Amino acid sequence: MALWGGRFKTASSDIFKEFNDSLPFDHLLVQQDIQGSIGWSKAIQQAGVLTLEEQQQMEQALLDLSAKVAAGESDILTSGAEDVHSWVEAELTTQLGDIARKLHTGRSRNDQVATDLRLWSREQVDILIDALNSCQQQLLTLAENNQEHILPGYTHLQRAQPIRFAHWCLAYIEMFKRDSSRLTDARKRMNQCPLGSGALAGTTYDIDRYELAQSLGFDGPCVNSLDAVSDRDFVLEILFAASASMMHLSRFAEDLIFFNSGEANFITLGDQVTSGSSLMPQKKNPDALELIRGKCGRVYGALQGLLVTLKGLPMAYNKDLQEDKEGLFETVGQWHSCLVMAGEVINSIEINSARCQKAAREGYANATELADYLVDKGVPFRTAHEISGQVVLYAIKQQEPIESLRLDELKQFSPLIEQDVYPVLELEYLVDKRNILGGTGKQPVSNIIAQYRHNLGTS
Ligand code: ARG
């Protein structure tokens, strides 16, 4: 039974019903709808709509319904109700008869759904913050266990300067930290209660909206009823936070896919997170990471989709707003599973230390050091850069790294080059010279690790 039959002479067509019903997806809001309804029953009891006894009966029936749903004993999916709100009310009516028909006094599905969705979003934000936190802890452990390993750092995907593998891990921790703080910010803004806004203009009943908001764990009531029923900024904010985080995850995946390639061979991914080929027996493919990279697309799609849906909507509630849910549910689920999967991949990584070192030595990554060495001897940096470039050109011709050139060969380019140049060209030396906050040197990297270990707790 629809909640609005009185004014209609004919029933909905099957095609309309299937098109219009949201229960197939908004059933995910059932616990929040029950929670919101309990809050509302208290509010209208205080406003004199329900007796205390009626409210208590209603609350008990709603709690029983919640337990039944949690135990998987309800028929919610096969009920054929229009939406989750209709289903909860119908179930309550079966239990309580006419008393249940008082619950919707002064309430609209417009303020109800906005409240349900905020409650759901708030819970999911907390779960996502936990998942981001776990991912950071797993990365931190990987960094801690691999502080000695050095690999090439890239710009333009050309070997640029060597870096500690741990430094690379810490870069992603920074990104996941920002993702988490975006959610924390969004949570503050979403934690306002729309209930009591009615359909659009506010309710006529004497509801204490502050108390109602507080009883549902909100920081306070939304203060404009038109905005309260039509605002979906909180959904957009989650979708944007998800998009930014998926972008980080996809970059992370791409780096690891490259590190794991036959060409780089810096790391080996565990069998448990890779798959084989049905045709080529030798293959071990990084599917988990490719899926993380790939899933980014649909998350961006959900953000873009909702932005376009909301654009130009007239005030206040319009059925277009029902389109907010599927993209949100899908996004939150995919983002969460990508974070869990990323953690599983992190735990499976083995570093191929010798190969990393070799690659870091190749590619003339110490050319900047040679220039800096000359700067220390009084040569202006531009000139030093030029000299070092000429040494690289010569070394490439000889097919040797710079540090394998003899002193007399090096001296052809500058008489200032002495025996003391060789330690300067050593890999560890040039990495650890980046001894500044934020640098890849041993000290700043281990300081940041210690700081994170302190802030993030133990894994
Ligand atoms: N299923 C609807 C939604 O998700 C609930 C609100 C319905 N409101 C209405 N005026 N038809 O937006």
Q: Which 3-state string (H, E, C) describes the chain?
A: CCCCHHHCCCCCCHHHHHHHCCHHHHHHHHHHHHHHHHHHHHHHHHCCCCCHHHHHHHHHHHHHHHHHHHCCCCCHHHCCCCCHHHHHHHHHHHHHHHHHHHCCCCCCHHHHHHHHHHHHHHHHHHHHHHHHHHHHHHHHHHHHHCCCCEEEEEECCEEEEEEEHHHHHHHHHHHHHHHHHHHHHHHHHHCEECCCCCCCCCCCCCCCHHHHHHHCCCCEECCCHHHHHHCCHHHHHHHHHHHHHHHHHHHHHHHHHHHCCCCCCCEECCHHHCECCCCCCCCCECHHHHHHHHHHHHHHHHHHHHHHHHCCCCCCCCHHHHHHHHHHHHHHHHHHHHHHHHHHHHHHCEECHHHHHHHHHCCCCCHHHHHHHHHHCCCCHHHHHHHHHHHHHHHHHHCCCHHHCCHHHHHCCCCCCCCCHHHHHCHHHHHHCCCCCCCCCHHHHHHHHHHHHHHHCCC
Residues annotated as part of the active site: 156, 277
Residue 359 reports pLDDT greater than 80: yes
Residue 364 reports pLDDT greater than 80: yes
Residue 269 reports pLDDT greater than 70: yes
CA of 194 to the centre of ligand 1 (A): 14
- Ligand 1 pocket: which of 315, 319, 326, 329 to mutate (most atoms within 8 A of CB): 319
Residue 416 reports pLDDT greater than 60: yes
pLDDT of residue 298: 97
Question: In which band, very low, low, confident or very high, does the pLDDT at 459 lie, cut at 50, 70 and 90?
Answer: very low
Q: Whose CA is nearest to atom 12 of ligand 1?
A: 322
| Residue 154 φ/ψ, nearest 5 degrees | -120, 145
Percentage, residues of the chain above pLDDT 70: 99
**Which atom of ligand 1 sits closest to the CA of residue 84?**
1
Q: If you average pLDDT over residues 375-385, what whole number do you get?
A: 96
> For residue 221, with 0-12 CB atoms within 10 Å meaning exposed, 13-18 middle and 19 or more buried, which class applies?
buried
pLDDT of residue 422: 95
**For the segment 299-311, what is each residue's pLDDT rounded down to a tens digit?**
999 999 999 999 9
pLDDT of residue 59: 98
Q: Are 3 and 89 in contact (CB under 8 A)?
A: yes
**For the segment 295-344, what is each residue's pLDDT rounded down to a tens digit?**
999 999 999 999 999 999 999 999 999 999 999 999 999 999 999 999 99
Percentage, residues of the chain above pLDDT 90: 92
**Which atom of ligand 1 sits closest to the CA of residue 317?**
10
pLDDT of residue 284: 84
Q: If you average pLDDT over residues 259-275, what whole number do you get?
A: 94
| Residue 268 φ/ψ, nearest 5 degrees | -120, 130
pLDDT of residue 314: 98
Residue 277 reports pLDDT greater than 90: no
321 Cβ below 6 A of ligand 1:
yes
CA of 24 to the centre of ligand 1 (A): 14
322 Cβ below 6 A of ligand 1:
yes
**For the segment 13-39, what is each residue's pLDDT rounded down to a tens digit?**
999 999 999 999 999 999 999 999 999
CA of 322 to the centre of ligand 1 (A): 6
164 Cβ below 6 A of ligand 1:
no
CA of 43 to the centre of ligand 1 (A): 22
> For residue 100, with 0-12 CB atoms within 10 Å meaning exposed, 13-18 middle and 19 or more buried, which class applies?
buried
In the chain the domains, ranked by start, together with CATH numbers, are 15-105 (1.10.275.10), 110-148+164-204+226-353 (1.20.200.10), 359-456 (1.10.40.30)
**For the segment 68-91, what is each residue's pLDDT rounded down to a tens digit?**
999 999 999 999 999 999 999 999
Q: Are 225 and 202 in contact (CB under 8 A)?
A: yes
Q: If you average pLDDT over residues 183-210, what whole number do you get?
A: 98
Q: If you average pLDDT over residues 149-174, what whole number do you get?
A: 96
Pull the structure tokens for residue 356: 């990393």
83 Cβ below 6 A of ligand 1:
yes
pLDDT of residue 458: 57
317 Cβ below 6 A of ligand 1:
yes
Question: In which band, very low, low, confident or very high, does the pLDDT at 162 lie, cut at 50, 70 and 90?
Answer: very high
Examine the predicted complex and report whether its ipTM is higher than 0.95. yes
Q: If you average pLDDT over residues 166-195, what whole number do you get?
A: 98
pLDDT of residue 4: 76
Question: In which band, very low, low, confident or very high, does the pLDDT at 275 lie, cut at 50, 70 and 90?
Answer: confident
